[in-house]
């Protein structure tokens, strides 16, 4: 519970402990005790970046103010939604993944501004419902769901801390969103096999660098884009044609995959292409006198791949699809060739088989398992030139 006034600063909220004594984060997120004993004078002490460090900095500031005989500031009786949102985030950020923290920060910054300066007790069901309904006009239902969860979480925290006894977000989601089965969702748009062949022949001919290999890896291994960009040579088991998915990346930050680590099967042709790429990376590093990166595609961002995908689709005169549609292509090819939904769930890393069936149910003709190279490359495919697709 915070007892001291808060105001927005350049790098985050500033806690005003006493006249001339504040606690605030610096540009690196480190909590600083800042003392200004006189005009033009300033002393700083760093504490760290965690919630515990913030609390230690505040306690140290209180001790300094007491020793200097200063009167401690007190929190005004009115607590705004914005201040409560900040306190909720600080108290819970330690248990969230980096991607979750980033998503919640964006929700608070981009979608909750209308509530920011309102006192907690002035935020009612009508205001929250109107905000969610307006958001649904311009954003996907999933974004509305997360926004509702954030608002509800903020008020739940306020309940537990004794600031308020109500949660105006409670029970509102079902009154704003249609039932899940009636929602208009973006359907998977996989490539037919012949179009996929044309797409990759064009990609290898037109795109520079590792872009064609990244796109082909997504289509032939079912990886998410972040998982493909976080691939490591250490996780490639060439002998058994397997890859251990242990990381994903987003906005330059690496972390665990969405639904945990998994071991997947990959076909022999893709293994050969990845090995050639690894060998080339090592040779370039050796000639430059540096160590090769542990990642297969260092410096490549999601936005780069999205643009490369658009360029390849247009050059091949195919309907423009997203990188994620390559993952959909992988799943549809396996299911149409009688791989079981359980096998596809394992390969894709879905948290439950119901997710696999819900998304790809109309591509399931039966069960069984066939040769992976035949399924992904065609009935006459053979391991060959590592930089071209085999013609059927």
Domain with 95 in it: what CATH number?
A: 1.10.150.130
Least confident of 17-31, 85-99, 219-233, 370-384: 370-384
**To the nearest 10°, the Cα dihedral for 335, 341, 347, 348?**
90
For residue 159, pLDDT beyond 80: yes
Residue 374 has pLDDT above 50, yes or no: yes
* Per-residue pLDDT, 371: 66
Residues 198, 337: one domain? yes
Q: What is the domain-level CATH number for residue 14?
A: 3.30.160
By the 8 A CB rule, do 106 and 114 touch?
Answer: no
Q: Are strands 43-48 and 31-35 parallel, antiparallel or unpaired?
A: antiparallel
Which residues, other chains included, contact 244 with Cβ-Cβ below 8 Å and sequence gap of 6+?
A: 235, 237, 261, 262, 263, 264
Q: Which residue has the higher pLDDT, 216 or 183?
A: 216
CB atoms within 10 A of CB 14: 19
Averaged pLDDT for residues 211-226: 95
Does the pLDDT at position 388 exceed 80? no
In this model, does residue 179 exceed pLDDT 60? Answer: yes
* One domain for residues 237 and 361: yes
Number of domains in the chain: 3
| Comparison of pLDDT for 232 and 164, the residue scoring more | 232
* Residue finishing a domain among 153, 177, 201: 177
Residue 389 lies in a domain: no
Asked if the structure places residue 350 within a domain, the reply is: yes
Cα separation, 368 vs 177, whole angstroms: 38
Q: Which two tokens stand for residue 260?
A: 């945990």
Q: Are residues 254 and 315 both part of a single domain?
A: yes
Residue 344: other Cβ atoms inside 10 A: 24
pLDDT of residue 76: 56
Give pLDDT, residue 264: 94
| pLDDT tens-digit series, residues 21-33 | 999 998 888 999 9
Q: Which two tokens stand for residue 287?
A: 């000639």
Domain assignment present for 287: yes
What token pair was written down for 186?
Answer: 């973006």
Per-residue pLDDT, averaged over 248-275, amounts to: 90
- pLDDT at position 365 is 67
The answer as to whether 1 is a domain residue is no
More confident residue, 235 or 250: 235
Same domain, 225 and 340: yes
Last residue of a domain, one of 126, 150, 177: 177
On whether both 368 and 245 belong to a single domain, the answer is yes
The answer as to whether 188 is a domain residue is no
In the chain the beta strands, taken as DSSP E runs, fall at: 6-8, 13-18, 21-25, 31-35, 43-48, 236-237, 242-245, 248-250, 253-255, 262-265
The answer to whether residues 296 and 331 belong to one domain is yes
- The model's pLDDT over 296-328, given as tens digits with 9 standing for 90+, comes to 999 999 999 999 999 999 999 999 999 999 999
Q: Identify whether residues 351 and 267 lie together within a single domain.
A: yes
Q: Higher model confidence: residue 211 or residue 10?
A: 211
Boundary (domain end) residue, out of 33, 67, 101 = 67
Same domain, 213 and 291: yes
* CATH number, residue 350: 1.10.443.10
Selected residue with higher pLDDT from 218 and 290: 218
Rounded to 5 degrees, what are φ and ψ at 373?
A: -65, -40
- The reply to whether 258 and 324 lie within a common domain is yes
Residue 132 lies in a domain: yes
Q: What is the pLDDT of residues 58-113, one digit of tens each?
A: 999 999 989 888 888 776 556 789 889 988 998 888 888 777 888 898 899 889 99
State the pLDDT at residue 181: 62
The domain in which residue 19 lies consists of 6-67
Is residue 384 very low, low, confident or very high in pLDDT (cuts 50, 70, 90)?
low
In a domain, 390, yes or no: no
Q: Are residues 255 and 369 in the same domain?
A: yes
Q: pLDDT: is 356 or 200 the higher one?
A: 200
- Residue 325 placed within a domain: yes
Q: What band does 183 get if pLDDT is binned at 50, 70 and 90?
A: low
Q: Residue 128 is encoded by which pair of tokens?
A: 């929250």
pLDDT at 387: 46
Q: What per-residue confidence (pLDDT) applies to 142?
A: 86
Q: Are residues 57 and 205 in the same domain?
A: no
- Assess whether 20 and 110 both reside in one domain: no
């Amino acid at each position: 519970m915070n007892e001291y006034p808060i105001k927005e600063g350049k790098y985050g909220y500033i806690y005003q402990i006493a006249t001339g004594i504040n606690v605030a984060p610096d540009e690196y997120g480190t909590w600083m005790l800042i003392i200004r004993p006189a005009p033009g004078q300033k002393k700083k002490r760093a504490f760290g970046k965690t919630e515990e460090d913030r609390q230690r900095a505040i306690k140290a500031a209180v001790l300094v103010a007491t020793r200097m005989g200063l009167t401690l500031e007190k929190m005004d009786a009115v607590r705004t939604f914005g201040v409560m949102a900040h306190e909720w985030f600080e108290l819970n950020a330690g248990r969230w993944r980096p991607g979750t923290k980033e998503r919640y920060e964006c929700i608070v910054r981009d979608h909750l501004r209308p509530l920011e300066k309102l006192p907690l007790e002035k935020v009612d069901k009508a205001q929250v419902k109107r905000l969610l309904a307006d958001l649904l006009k311009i954003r996907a239902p999933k974004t509305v769901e997360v926004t509702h969860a954030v608002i509800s979480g903020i008020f739940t925290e306020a309940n537990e801390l004794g600031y308020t006894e109500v949660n105006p977000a409670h029970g509102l989601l079902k009154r704003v969103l249609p039932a899940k089965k009636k929602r208009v969702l973006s359907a998977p748009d996989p490539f037919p096999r012949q179009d996929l062949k044309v797409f990759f022949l064009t990609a290898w001919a037109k795109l520079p660098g590792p872009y064609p290999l990244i796109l082909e890896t997504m289509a032939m291994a079912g990886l998410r884009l972040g998982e493909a960009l976080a691939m490591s040579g250490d996780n490639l088991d060439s002998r058994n044609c397997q890859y251990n998915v242990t990381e994903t990346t987003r906005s330059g930050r690496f972390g665990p995959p969405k639904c945990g680590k998994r071991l997947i099967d990959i076909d022999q042709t893709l293994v050969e292409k990845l090995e050639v790429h690894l060998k080339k990376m090592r040779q370039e590093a050796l000639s430059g006198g540096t160590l090769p990166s542990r990642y297969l595609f260092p410096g490549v961002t999601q936005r780069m791949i999205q643009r490369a995908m658009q360029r390849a689709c247009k050059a091949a005169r195919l309907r423009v699809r997203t990188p994620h549609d390559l993952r959909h292509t992988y799943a549809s090819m396996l299911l149409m060739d009688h791989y079981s939904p359980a096998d596809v769930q394992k390969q894709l890393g879905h948290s439950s088989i119901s997710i696999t069936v819900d998304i790809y149910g109309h591509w399931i003709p039966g069960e069984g398992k066939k040769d992976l190279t035949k399924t992904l490359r065609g009935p006459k495919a053979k391991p060959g030139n590592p930089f071209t697709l085999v013609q059927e």
